[in-house]
């Protein structure tokens, strides 16, 4: 029996809904086919956006969407994606399959998509191959309400009212595809570019995000903060020059040359993958420790704006399109990471899983007019109960399990929050692919009035296909008993469970 202690009197921080954010790049079939099919498509759509996909994303409560990349962002020139579609420039998507990008999905279409979903906007600007002027004009185009060349152009293109840009990223992976810069050089670039991301609306300030580290590159974090956190000319008194610093970390089971299959894997690869995903906790802890030295008040968010599993592509698909299936293993990866982000909610203000549809650890896969929800989708929907909640103090006893010493993992992870209406939401993951466990949740002085629970679980490689779309789904869970302030739960193997508790 494993004990989960929950202290509802000890509130540890606000869980920003954006912790459950997503990322959509011009990559493979993410934007085109997956989301945007155009007004003339036979696939039911509203202003070109697939109705089935938008409805599923609304139901999942998608809080924020990052666009247009990724590596694509640093070769994207936004003016190519505005105005009449027939005259938009075509370009080569050099990063992703060398395919033709016809720019039919641009700024207006992205804003329309976010409006339909009801989510916040996170635009990623081009530092790698763009200019300060180009970035500055994009911000003016999107957000300025008065009379100016860019605001007038936006109006000519059909949008009288300005758009809301909630977050703006100054480049992407500038240590890699975004320009192969050294941190000192990028820090200077960042200082310059961010100065021209103007806030035209004092009540809708844009949060500026600097390119942060990859994985365990602590030196990058140290240099960026040292050069850019505070300084003369800062337009944002206590935040210095930035509101957020990104972190990218992908869960790759083996190595980049041969990552491993998404659906065919052994028990050993199950634990290998989960042990690698758990490194997220260590990385956040160590990058946060650096951030704490510069910013003890926690004004800058650590934005984990790319994360998730990265496997070999599905057989017969374009290697540049990064199309992969999604199993119960991915459900566990999602549940474990979302628990980690909750636990770090004081520093982690946003996270964006890669990527929304048809790419990497997607929540949705499409084929023609058919759409399926992946196990990851069901976990995100389940965890939406934590959005805007308050993290509560909680801890669980665990055992270490696995098949090889270096790939050992705790058998259980958890996080607990209190929602605005006073309900306690517990999310638990069972990392064993063979064993179930009994967990006794103890709510200390609170008496449990009622519990509603659901589960996403199955055999480790279970997944949904276009032929069998409902193999994995969120189901009602009843394998628990309540006694006073305790709930005794039987956690099945390889599962993610949510309990909504009324006290």
CB 248 within 8 Å of CB 210: no
Tell me the pairing of strands 21-23 and 348-354. Answer: parallel
**φ and ψ at residue 448, rounded to 5 degrees:** -80, 125
Rg of the Cα atoms in the chain:
22
Nearer to ligand AHR, 173 or 295 (CB): 173
Nearer to ligand AHR, 8 or 124 (CB): 124
Minimum distance, C-beta of residue 72 to ligand AHR, in the bound complex (Å): 6
Catalytic residue among 173, 269, 414, 474: 173
Minimum distance, C-beta of residue 172 to ligand AHR, in the bound complex (Å): 5
Q: What is the distance between the alpha carbons of residues 273 and 250, in angstroms, rounded to a whole number?
A: 11
Q: What is the distance between the alpha carbons of residues 481 and 440, in angstroms, rounded to a whole number?
A: 10
467 is catalytic: no
Nearer to ligand AHR, 69 or 125 (CB): 69
Minimum distance, C-beta of residue 366 to ligand AHR, in the bound complex (Å): 18
445 is catalytic: no
Q: What is the distance between the alpha carbons of residues 30 and 362, in angstroms, rounded to a whole number?
A: 9
Question: Token pair for residue 467?
Answer: 């032929």
Minimum distance, C-beta of residue 145 to ligand AHR, in the bound complex (Å): 32
Minimum distance, C-beta of residue 308 to ligand AHR, in the bound complex (Å): 8
Catalytic residue among 75, 101, 306, 474: 306
Question: Token pair for residue 369?
Answer: 């007019």
* List of residues contacting ligand AHR (CB under 6 A): 25, 69-71, 172-173, 306, 354-355, 360
Nearer to ligand AHR, 24 or 432 (CB): 24
Nearer to ligand AHR, 140 or 173 (CB): 173
Say how many residues make up the chain: 503
CB 37: neighbour CB atoms within 10 A? 20
Strand segments, DSSP code E, in 234-383 are 244-251, 301-309, 348-354, 364-367, 370-373
Nearer to ligand AHR, 172 or 342 (CB): 172
Residue entry with tokens 């926690």: 298
Sign of CA dihedral 84, 89, 92, 94: negative
Q: Cβ-closest residue to ligand AHR?
A: 70
Nearer to ligand AHR, 169 or 410 (CB): 169
Sign of CA dihedral 12, 239, 24, 200: positive
Minimum distance, C-beta of residue 178 to ligand AHR, in the bound complex (Å): 8
Q: What is the distance between the alpha carbons of residues 360 and 128, in angstroms, rounded to a whole number?
A: 24
HSE (side-chain half, CA atoms, 13 Å) at 159: 21
Q: What is the distance between the alpha carbons of residues 358 and 337, in angstroms, rounded to a whole number?
A: 20
Minimum distance, C-beta of residue 103 to ligand AHR, in the bound complex (Å): 18
CB 438 within 8 Å of CB 492: no
Question: Token pair for residue 10?
Answer: 């000890």
Question: What is the distance, to the nearest Å, from the Cα of residue 437 to the centroid of all Cα atoms in its chain?
Answer: 29
Q: Which residues are catalytic?
A: 173, 306
């Amino acid at each position: 029996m494993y004990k989960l202690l929950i202290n509802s009197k000890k509130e540890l921080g606000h869980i920003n809904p954006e912790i459950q954010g997503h990322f959509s790049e011009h990559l493979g079939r993410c934007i085109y086919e997956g989301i945007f099919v155009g007004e003339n498509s036979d696939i039911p759509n509203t202003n070109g956006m697939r109705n089935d996909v938008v409805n599923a994303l609304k139901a999942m409560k998608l809080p924020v969407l990052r666009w247009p990349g990724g590596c694509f962002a640093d070769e994207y020139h936004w003016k190519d994606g505005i105005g009449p579609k027939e005259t938009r420039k075509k370009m080569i998507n050099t990063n992703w399959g060398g395919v033709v990008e016809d720019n039919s999905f641009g700024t207006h279409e992205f804003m329309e998509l976010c409006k339909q979903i009801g989510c916040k906007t996170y635009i990623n600007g081009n530092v790698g191959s763009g200019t300060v002027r180009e970035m500055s004009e994009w911000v003016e185009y999107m957000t300025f309400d008065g009379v100016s060349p860019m605001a007038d152009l936006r109006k000519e293109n059909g949008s009288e009212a300005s758009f809301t840009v909630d977050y703006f990223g100054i480049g992407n992976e500038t240590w890699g595809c975004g320009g192969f810069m050294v941190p000192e050089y990028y820090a200077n670039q960042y200082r310059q570019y961010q100065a021209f991301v103007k806030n035209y609306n004092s009540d809708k300030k844009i949060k500026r995000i600097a390119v942060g580290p990859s994985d365990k590159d602590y030196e990058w974090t140290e240099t960026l903060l040292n050069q850019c956190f505070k300084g003369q000319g800062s337009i944002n008194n206590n935040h210095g020059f930035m509101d957020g610093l990104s972190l990218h970390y992908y869960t790759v089971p083996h190595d980049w040359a041969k990552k491993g299959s998404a659906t065919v894997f052994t028990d050993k690869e199950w634990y290998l993958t989960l042990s690698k995903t758990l490194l997220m906790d260590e990385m956040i802890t160590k990058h946060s420790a650096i951030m704490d030295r510069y910013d003890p008040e926690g004004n800058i968010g650590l934005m984990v704006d790319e994360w998730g599993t990265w496997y070999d592509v599905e057989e017969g698909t374009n290697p540049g399109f990064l199309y992969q299936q999604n199993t119960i293993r991915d459900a566990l990866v999602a549940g474990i990471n979302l628990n980690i982000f909750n636990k770090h909610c004081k520093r982690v203000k946003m996270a964006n899983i890669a990527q929304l549809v048809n790419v990497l650890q997607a929540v949705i896969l499409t084929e023609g007019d058919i759409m399926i929800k992946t196990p990851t989708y069901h976990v995100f929907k389940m965890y939406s109960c934590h959005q805007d909640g308050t993290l509560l103090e909680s801890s669980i006893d665990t055992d270490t399990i696995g098949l090889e010493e270096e790939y050992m993992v705790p058998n259980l992870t958890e996080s607990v929050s209190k929602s605005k209406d006073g309900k306690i939401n517990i999310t638990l993951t069972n990392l064993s692919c063979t064993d179930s466990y009994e967990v006794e949740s103890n709510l200390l002085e609170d008496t449990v009035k009622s519990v509603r629970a659901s589960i996403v679980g199955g055999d480790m490689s279970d997944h949904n296909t276009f032929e069998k779309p409902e193999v994995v789904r969120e189901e009602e869970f009843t394998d628990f008993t309540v006694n006073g302030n305790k709930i005794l739960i039987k956690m099945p193997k390889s599962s993610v469970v949510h309990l909504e508790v009324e006290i």
